């Protein structure tokens, strides 16, 4: 009986140690509070993100449905339990957005976010991501996301997401129908959302 308890405690300590090590690894790129990071390549904010979305994206990197060699390597070998633990931990973080996006087109970004562009077949972002930008289930949080990251994702959706087989597939035609200035306006608006 003592061996089982000791073994169980040792296993729990090892699992906790592995989890803490992975969180530290994530902080290397995504920031100390997972708030995102502006570097050579912008690293997305993961703090406050929907767990189901994070789990889906980590699996997409593992299965090479989403192309990013760094993230494919970071996700390599993650168990389902570790993926779920990381996603839950990140959901509970909520640092202030970094900000710093241009403010000149915030009104345009707000209008597109709330109303869409019916003439261009672009639905309101709020219809899926919520009026507060916090998403739900497999729909990601946009509130506080780094401006540069959002611009890059929307401008190059088919290059960065490949042939998405999850709910993100709806974003390919939506992002394709946005002009660069509209992408930048939406990205600026969501970057300031709390």
Select the CATH number that applies to the domain covering 106-192 from these four: 1.10.490.10, 3.90.1300.10, 1.10.760.10, 3.40.50.300.
Answer: 1.10.760.10
- Interatomic CA distance for residues 173 and 179, integer angstroms: 12
**Plot region of 100 (φ>0 → left; ψ -120 to 50 → alpha; else → beta):** left
pLDDT band, very low/low/confident/very high, at 14 (cuts 50, 70, 90): low
Query: pTM for this one?
Result: 0.87
Hey, where are the domains in the chain?
Answer: 2-91, 106-192
Proportion of the chain in helix, strand, coil states, percent, rounded to 5 = 60, 5, 40
CA count, 13 A, side-chain hemisphere, 64: 1
What is the mean pLDDT of the segment spanning 47-76? Answer: 92
Q: Same CATH fold, 106-192 and 2-91?
A: yes
Tens of pLDDT, residue by residue over 66-90, are 888 899 999 998 999 999 999 999 9
| Fold (CATH) for 2-91 | Cytochrome Bc1 Complex; Chain D, domain 2 (1.10.760)
pLDDT at 5 over 60: no
């Amino acid at each position: 009986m003592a061996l089982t308890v000791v073994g169980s405690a040792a296993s729990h300590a090892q699992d906790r140690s592995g989890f803490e090590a992975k969180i530290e690894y994530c902080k290397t790129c995504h920031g100390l509070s997972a708030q995102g990071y502006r570097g050579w390549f912008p690293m997305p904010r993961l703090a406050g993100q929907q767990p189901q979305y994070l789990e889906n994206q980590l699996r997409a990197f593992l299965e090479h449905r989403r192309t990013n060699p760094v993230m494919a390597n970071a996700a390599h070998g993650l168990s389902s339990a570790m993926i779920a633990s990381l996603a839950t931990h990140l959901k509970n973080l909520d640092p202030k957005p970094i900000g710093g996006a241009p403010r000149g087109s915030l009104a345009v970004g707000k209008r597109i976010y709330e109303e869409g562009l019916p003439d261009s077949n672009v639905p309101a972002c709020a219809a899926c991501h919520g009026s507060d930008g916090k998403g739900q289930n497999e729909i990601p949080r946009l509130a506080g996301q780094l401006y540069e990251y959002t611009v890059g994702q929307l401008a190059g959706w088919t290059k960065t997401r490949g042939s998405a087989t999850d709910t993100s597939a709806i974003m390919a035609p939506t992002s394709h129908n946005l002009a660069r200035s509209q992408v930048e306006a939406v990205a600026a608006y969501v970057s300031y959302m709390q």
